[in-house]
């Protein structure tokens, strides 16, 4: 099977690694143009790899193991700021922002042909999402003809967390030449490439802590624990009369709300309690758009 993984698995992996629904759908709209959801795609004369055609020393992202490669490719995408680059209120907006700020290819800026195509692709992906009828497996051994492959750092911003990451990937990129690579040395470099991928994951986890909205989620989890314990205590003493029952129900309900916030993605605009209350209020009024 070219590509090797169900397209729905790509969506769920994006969500599992922390992308919002809108971000995931916008990124997948770009994957259609970049690789047709093929985890094994290699393009740009052998310098671009995987689902988003990561450009540069990323050959270790395509190893012939589609499932493992998909996870590593999305980990790398996340570590390089891909989720942030796909910000937007709708999948169409997220698709355009990801094209302009992450892919940064010819035609990927607003008004360009690639930009318009990826925005249109978002409607297709939203159809998959709403119907639950995803394509079975990404297809094609190589990127589609005419697609753009120059994936770069989002917005060109300097990020100090990327320095050790890029140095490590440079040191662990495969050694090639006209005579090929000796078997023993190749094995060593492949092992080091695997270590580099794990290092990417660690850096990605550290990067997660630098997002203010994630600290709001951490605070919500801590608050939920602090509220749940006395709530359960009050419920355990309901037989003694008084206000133990209503107090316990109220505290447990509040803890449930805090846990709900803690285990769901928040917009990056939510950086404090005021922003959180505004986001919850907006959700109660209208909900999140995915069309």
Using one digit for the tens of pLDDT, what is the confidence trace for 41-51?
999 888 999 99
Residue 279 has phi, psi (to 5 degrees) of -65, -45
Q: Are residues 12 and 150 in the same domain?
A: yes
Last residue of a domain, one of 143, 158, 173: 158
Whether 196 is in a domain gets the answer no
Whether the CB-CB separation of 251 and 231 falls below 8 Å is answered with yes
State the Cα–Cα distance between residues 54 and 70, nearest whole angstrom: 12
Evaluate if residue 129 carries a pLDDT over 90: yes
Last residue of a domain, one of 139, 158, 177: 158
Whether the CB-CB separation of 148 and 105 falls below 8 Å is answered with yes
Which range of 135-144, 169-178, 278-287 scores highest in mean pLDDT? It is: 278-287
Count of domains for the chain: 2
Q: Are residues 242 and 149 in the same domain?
A: no
- Mean pLDDT confidence for 211-218: 73
Which regions of the chain does DSSP assign to beta strands (E)? 42-43, 48-49, 54-55
State the Cα–Cα distance between residues 92 and 116, nearest whole angstrom: 10
Q: Are residues 154 and 216 in the same domain?
A: no
Whether the CB-CB separation of 74 and 90 falls below 8 Å is answered with no
Task: Give the position of tokens 């309690």.
Answer: 273
- Show Cβ contacts of residue 43 under 8 Å, excluding neighbours closer than 6 positions: 35, 53, 142, 143, 147, 149
Whether 180 is in a domain gets the answer no
- Show Cβ contacts of residue 17 under 8 Å, excluding neighbours closer than 6 positions: 74, 75, 78
Evaluate if residue 5 carries a pLDDT over 50: yes
Whether 277 is in a domain gets the answer yes
Q: Are residues 153 and 240 in the same domain?
A: no
Q: Are residues 232 and 129 in the same domain?
A: no
Q: Are residues 150 and 217 in the same domain?
A: no
Beta-ladder partners of 42: 49
Q: Are residues 148 and 217 in the same domain?
A: no
Convert the pLDDT of each residue in 48-67 to its tens digit.
999 999 999 999 999 999 99
Whether 260 is in a domain gets the answer yes
Last residue of a domain, one of 125, 158, 191: 158
Q: Are residues 253 and 140 in the same domain?
A: no
* CA angle (240 as vertex; 235, 242 as ends), nearest 5: 85
Whether 70 is in a domain gets the answer yes
Q: Are residues 141 and 241 in the same domain?
A: no
Evaluate if residue 234 carries a pLDDT over 70: yes
Q: Are residues 222 and 149 in the same domain?
A: no
Whether 202 is in a domain gets the answer no
Convert the pLDDT of each residue in 68-123 to its tens digit.
999 999 999 999 999 999 999 999 999 999 999 999 999 999 999 999 999 999 99
Q: Are residues 144 and 237 in the same domain?
A: no
Give the domain range for residue 216. 212-285
State the Cα–Cα distance between residues 27 and 67, nearest whole angstrom: 18
Q: Are residues 101 and 22 in the same domain?
A: yes
The CATH number assigned to the domain holding 46 equals 1.10.530
Whether 42 is in a domain gets the answer yes
Q: Is the dihedral of CA 93, 94, 100, 103 positive or negative?
A: negative
- Show Cβ contacts of residue 158 under 8 Å, excluding neighbours closer than 6 positions: none
Class of residue 133 by CB neighbours under 10 A (exposed 0-12, middle 13-18, buried 19+): exposed
pTM (predicted TM-score): 0.52
Whether 176 is in a domain gets the answer no
């Amino acid at each position: 099977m070219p590509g090797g993984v169900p397209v729905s698995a790509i969506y769920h992996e994006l969500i599992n690694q922390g992308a919002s629904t809108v971000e995931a759908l916008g990124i997948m709209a770009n994957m259609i143009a970049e690789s047709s959801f093929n985890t094994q795609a290699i393009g740009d004369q052998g310098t671009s790899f995987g689902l988003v055609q990561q450009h540069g020393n990323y050959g270790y992202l395509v190893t012939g193991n589609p499932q493992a490669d998909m996870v590593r490719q999305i980990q790398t995408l996340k570590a390089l700021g891909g989720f942030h680059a796909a910000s937007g209120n709708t999948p169409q907006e997220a698709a355009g922002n990801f094209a302009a700020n992450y892919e940064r290819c010819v035609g990927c800026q607003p008004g360009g042909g690639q930009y318009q195509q990826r925005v249109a692709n978002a409607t297709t992906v939203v159809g998959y999402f709403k119907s639950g009828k995803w394509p079975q497996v990404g297809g094609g051994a190589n990127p589609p003809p005419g697609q753009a492959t120059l994936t770069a750092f989002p917005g060109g911003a300097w990020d100090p967390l990327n320095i050790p990451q890029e140095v490590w990937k440079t040191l662990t990129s495969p050694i090639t030449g006209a005579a090929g690579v000796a078997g023993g040395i190749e094995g060593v470099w492949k092992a080091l490439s695997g270590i580099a991928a794990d290092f990417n994951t660690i850096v990605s986890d550290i990067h997660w802590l630098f997002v203010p909205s994630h600290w709001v989620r951490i605070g919500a989890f801590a608050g939920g624990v602090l509220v749940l314990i006395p709530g359960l205590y009050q419920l355990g003493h309901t037989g003694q009369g008084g206000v133990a029952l209503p107090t316990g129900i109220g505290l447990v309900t509040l803890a449930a709300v805090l846990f709900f916030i803690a285990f769901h993605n928040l917009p990056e605009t939510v950086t404090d309690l005021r922003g959180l209350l505004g986001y919850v209020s907006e959700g109660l009024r209208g909900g999140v758009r995915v069309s």
